[in-house]
Amino acid sequence: MCTDSTFSRVYFISKYKDSKTPPIVSLAAGGVAGGIEAFTSYPLEFAKTRVQLRSQKGILTPKNPFLVVTQVYQKEGVRALYKGCAALVVGSVGKDGVRFLFFDTIKHAFADSQTGTLSPLRNLAAGMTAGVVASITAITPTERIKTALIDDARNERRFRSGIHATKIIWQEHGILGLYRGFAGTTLKQASATAFRMGTYNILKDFETTRNIPQNTATNFANGSVAGVVTTLCTQPFDVIKTRSQSSHGARTVKAIKSVLIDYGIRGFWKGTTMRLGRTVFSGGILFTSYEAAVKIINPLYSGVKHTVGAKVEA
């Protein structure tokens, strides 16, 4: 005889299998979500990067991201707040498309056959793998260009645009110049993606098994919590990455030494408050946008696939 609990489990497993997101949908929805998240939260990313870059000794840097944004706006105008934004948006479209594609693929491949969910460790491992792949394919070069543009705007102003910065860096350092800070960036992305996507998926699995509705408010809250966890756990990697990718660049070991010389061990958490301001907001935006994009793109993809299949059979 089928009990209520047995029925609920069977229904959940069936629903989980039916809701498996096709790879092309994960890639497209992740790209859309990444672009939206990068553009809407960029001023806070700009402020965080400014604080992490080396400044004059003895001059205190503000911890309030909104104060930095206000000061830059007053002195340099609104365009300065979006310096390097195009590079980050392009990179975010690629990185989040790749991250969601690989995370969803790994998640479904290693999901428990009984519950359709992953253990917390498998969630983190899936996120870490997705982060490494994204760092190699998209994140390191675009982060290098974005950081170089922000750093260059403070002093030399050599770079006219992202394309111009890419050209100059390529001419001066070759392809390795675009991958300056690769170690720090990959460490950051592997850990950040593990904690961000792992935490989000752990929360989502927990809620789904307890029939908590997955709506916009829930998605935003889960994404924000994932952003807080990610920031606190990965801030040192973010600081090292920023120092490595300044306008002139620096090797990872040199970047670590410069942080210790300037601020001591506490320097590795420089910009935490500012990054928290961004990741809480951007985490909510990213996952809410992703879930919404999946709901829009999935039916379109299914319709096109069905139409093409019907024509082939005919």
Q: CB-based contacts of 135: which residues, under 8 Å, 6+ apart?
A: 95, 182, 185, 186, 189, 190
φ/ψ (deg, to 5) at 77: 90, 170
* pLDDT > 50? residue 15: no
Q: CB-based contacts of 190: which residues, under 8 Å, 6+ apart?
A: 128, 131, 132, 135
Confidence at residue 258, expressed as pLDDT on a 0 to 100 scale = 86
Residue type, 111: A
Rounded to an integer, the average pLDDT of 275-301 is: 89
Percent of the chain residues topping a pLDDT of 90: 16
Confidence at residue 222, expressed as pLDDT on a 0 to 100 scale = 94
Confidence at residue 254, expressed as pLDDT on a 0 to 100 scale = 85
For residue 7, what pLDDT band results from cuts at 50, 70 and 90?
very low
Rounded to an integer, the average pLDDT of 185-191 is: 84
Confidence at residue 2, expressed as pLDDT on a 0 to 100 scale = 45
For residue range 73-132, what is the model confidence (pLDDT) as tens digits?
A: 888 888 888 887 887 888 889 888 988 988 888 887 777 766 667 788 888 888 888 888
Confidence at residue 310, expressed as pLDDT on a 0 to 100 scale = 63
* pLDDT > 60? residue 14: no
Q: In a 3-state reduction of DSSP, which class is residue 165?
A: helix
- Helix ranges (H only) for 155-271 are 162-173, 175-178, 182-209, 216-244, 252-263
Confidence at residue 295, expressed as pLDDT on a 0 to 100 scale = 92
For residue range 225-239, what is the model confidence (pLDDT) as tens digits?
A: 999 999 888 888 888
Confidence at residue 18, expressed as pLDDT on a 0 to 100 scale = 45
CB 143 within 8 A of CB 200: no
For residue range 28-61, what is the model confidence (pLDDT) as tens digits?
A: 999 999 999 999 988 878 877 777 775 555 566 6
Q: In a 3-state reduction of DSSP, which class is residue 222?
A: helix
For residue 289, what pLDDT band results from cuts at 50, 70 and 90?
very high
For residue range 170-181, what is the model confidence (pLDDT) as tens digits?
A: 988 888 888 888
Confidence at residue 4, expressed as pLDDT on a 0 to 100 scale = 45
List, in order of start, the domains of the chain with CATH numbers: 20-313 (1.50.40.10)
Confidence at residue 115, expressed as pLDDT on a 0 to 100 scale = 66
